[in-house]
C-alpha cells in the first residue's frame, strides 16, 4: 500500500512516500481504506521528536491519528463493523510505528472507531476525533458546563476551540471566545461573542463575570483570564499551571460516540481550512505549522478526491 513515512525525527522535510505491505487485521480490528486524514499539532510534535523520551518509536512511522474511511475487512470479533461501513478513528497508540492515517489502508482496533456522521464529508469527519474528544472532555468532564453559565474559550476558532464552543452552546452556555479578527464572523455564526486576542486582550477580558475558562491556545493566553473566586479554569495547552485543570485527550468510546452523535444531528460542525492530495502531505504539514489559514488541514487518501 501507499503510505507517507518518516524514518528519522524532523520537520515536514523528513516525510516521504513509501510502499509498505498491507496491514494485517487482527481479531478485534478492521482494515480501513483511508479517505481522509486530518492533521493535528501533535503530529508535528511527535515527528519532531518532542516526545522521544516518553514514546516508543519504531521507524518508519506512518503519522496521523485522525482518519475517516471505509471498512474493507473486519476481524472475527469486530462484530459491529462490516465491509462498506463508513467510519472515523482516533488512532493514537502508546507507541509510534507504521500504523497511522497517512496511508492507503490502516488497521484499527474497533474500540478506536465509531461510525462516520452521515452529515459530514470524509474531510470534515476526519477533523472530528482528536479535536472533538478533547473539546468534549474539557467542556463536559473537566468544566461540567451548565445551562446559563458564561464560558470564555481561548483559541475559540481553532480545531479544538471551535468544537468546544459548539458543545458549550449545545449545553446552553453563553460563550465568549478569543480569536484573530479573521475568525470573528465564523465565531458569530456559531453563536459565540468574539474578542480579539493579543495586545489589550487582558483589559477586555479580565472584568468579565465568567463561570469558567477553557484555554485551547496556550501561548500565554491564560494570562488574559478573569481570576475572581470560583471561576473554573481548564487548559489543553498549558499542562501543569497552578489552579488550572489539565485536560489530556483520552480515547473513551462513550465520549467518542457522543461527539459523533452531535455531529450526526448537525449540531457539531468541522471547518476544513485546506485539503491536500496525498502526495502533498508534507505541504499539508507545512501549512499546519504556519497556521496561515483557519480550519483543519486535511490530507485526502490516495485515490480520493
Ligand X SMILES: NC(=O)c1ccc[n+]([C@@H]2O[C@H](COP(=O)([O-])OP(=O)(O)OC[C@H]3O[C@@H](n4cnc5c(N)ncnc54)[C@H](OP(=O)(O)O)[C@@H]3O)[C@@H](O)[C@H]2O)c1
CA–CA dist 97, 23 (Å, integer): 12
Report, in Å, the least distance between residue 267 CB and ligand X: 19
Select the residue interacting with ligand X from 103, 105, 212, 217 (CB under 6 A): 217
Concatenated DSSP letters for 94-161?
SEEEE-SSSBSEEEEEGGGEEEPPTTS-HHHHHTSHHHHHHHHIIIIIIS---TT-EEEEETTTSHHH
Residue 225 within binding range of ligand X, rule CB under 6 A: no
Q: Which is nearer to ligand X, 75 or 127 (CB)?
A: 127
Using CB under 6 A as the binding rule, whether residue 50 contacts ligand X is answered as no
Taking contact as CB under 6 A, which single stretch among the options 2-10, 81-89, 121-129, 214-222 is the one that binds ligand X? 214-222
Of the candidate spans 53-61, 144-152, 213-221, 226-234, the one that interacts with ligand X by CB under 6 A turns out to be: 213-221
Q: CA 280 to CA 135: how far, in whole Å?
A: 29
Determine the distance from the C-alpha atom of residue 109 to the mean position of all C-alpha atoms in its chain, rounded to a whole number: 19
131 binds ligand X per the rule CB under 6 A:
yes
Q: Which residue is nearest to ligand X (CB)?
A: 158
Q: Do residues 205 and 225 lie in contact, with contact meaning Cβ atoms separated by under 8 Å? A: yes
Closest CA to 36 of 276, 295, 201, 252: 276
Residue 157 interacts with ligand X (CB under 6 A)? yes
| Closest by Cα among 191, 18, 25, 228 to 108 | 25
| Shortest reach from residue 198's CB to ligand X, in Å | 7
Q: How far is CA 10 from the centre of its chain?
A: 21
Is residue 161 within the footprint of ligand X (CB under 6 A)? yes
CB of 158 to ligand X, least distance (A): 2
Name the residue nearer to ligand X (CB basis): 105 or 133. 133
Out of 41, 60, 191, 277, the residue judged to bind ligand X by CB under 6 A: 41
User: In angstroms, rounded to a whole number, what is the distance separating the alpha carbons of residues 284 and 36?
Assistant: 12
Residue 197 engages ligand X in binding (rule: CB under 6 A): yes
197 near 180, Cβ under 8 Å? yes
Query: What x/- string results for residues 174 through 193 when contact with ligand X is judged by CB under 6 A?
Result: ----xxx-------------
Distance of alpha carbon 264 from alpha carbon 190, whole angstroms: 17
Candidate segments 109-117, 166-174, 241-249, 260-268, binder of ligand X by CB under 6 A: 241-249
Instruction: Give the CA radius of gyration of the chain.
Output: 19
Closer residue to ligand X, CB minimum distance, 74 or 213: 213
Query: Using the rule CB under 6 A, is 128 a contact of ligand X?
Result: no
Q: Which of 106, 187, 210, 237 touches ligand X by CB under 6 A?
A: 237
Binding positions for ligand X, rule: CB under 6 A: 40-42, 130-131, 134, 154-155, 157-161, 178-180, 197, 216-219, 221, 236-237, 247-249, 291
Amino acid at each position: 500500500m501507499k503510505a507517507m513515512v518518516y524514518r528519522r525525527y524532523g520537520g515536514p522535510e523528513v516525510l516521504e512516500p513509501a510502499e509498505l505491505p498491507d496491514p494485517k487485521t487482527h481479531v478485534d480490528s478492521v482494515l480501513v481504506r483511508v479517505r481522509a486524514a486530518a492533521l493535528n499539532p501533535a503530529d508535528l510534535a511527535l515527528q519532531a521528536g518532542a516526545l522521544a523520551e516518553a514514546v516508543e518509536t519504531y521507524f518508519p512511522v506512518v503519522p496521523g491519528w485522525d482518519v475517516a474511511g471505509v471498512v474493507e475487512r473486519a476481524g472475527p470479533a469486530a462484530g459491529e463493523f462490516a465491509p462498506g461501513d463508513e467510519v472515523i478513528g482516533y488512532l493514537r497508540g502508546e507507541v509510534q510505528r507504521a500504523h497511522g492515517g497517512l496511508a492507503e489502508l490502516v488497521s484499527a482496533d474497533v474500540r478506536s472507531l465509531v461510525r462516520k456522521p452521515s452529515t459530514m464529508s470524509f474531510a470534515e469527519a476526519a477533523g472530528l476525533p482528536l479535536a472533538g474528544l478533547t473539546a468534549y472532555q474539557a467542556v463536559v468532564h473537566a468544566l461540567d458546563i451548565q445551562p446559563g453559565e458564561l464560558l470564555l474559550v481561548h483559541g475559540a476558532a481553532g480545531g479544538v476551540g471551535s468544537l468546544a464552543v459548539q458543545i458549550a452552546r449545545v449545553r446552553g452556555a453563553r460563550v465568549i471566545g478569543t480569536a484573530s479578527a479573521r475568525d470573528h464572523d465564523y465565531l458569530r455564526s456559531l453563536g459565540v461573542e468574539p474578542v480579539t486576542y493579543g495586545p489589550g486582550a487582558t483589559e477586555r477580558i479580565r472584568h468579565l463575570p465568567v463561570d469558567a475558562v477553557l484555554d485551547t491556545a496556550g501561548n500565554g493566553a491564560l494570562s488574559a483570564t478573569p481570576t475572581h473566586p470560583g471561576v473554573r479554569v481548564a487548559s489543553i495547552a498549558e499542562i501543569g499551571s497552578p489552579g488550572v485543570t489539565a485536560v489530556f485527550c483520552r480515547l473513551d468510546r462513550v465520549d467518542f460516540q457522543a461527539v459523533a452523535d452531535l455531529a450526526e444531528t448537525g449540531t457539531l460542525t468541522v471547518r476544513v481550512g485546506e485539503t491536500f492530495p496525498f502526495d502533498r502531505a508534507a505541504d499539508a504539514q507545512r501549512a499546519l505549522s504556519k497556521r496561515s489559514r483557519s480550519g483543519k488541514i486535511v490530507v485526502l487518501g490516495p485515490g480520493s478526491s
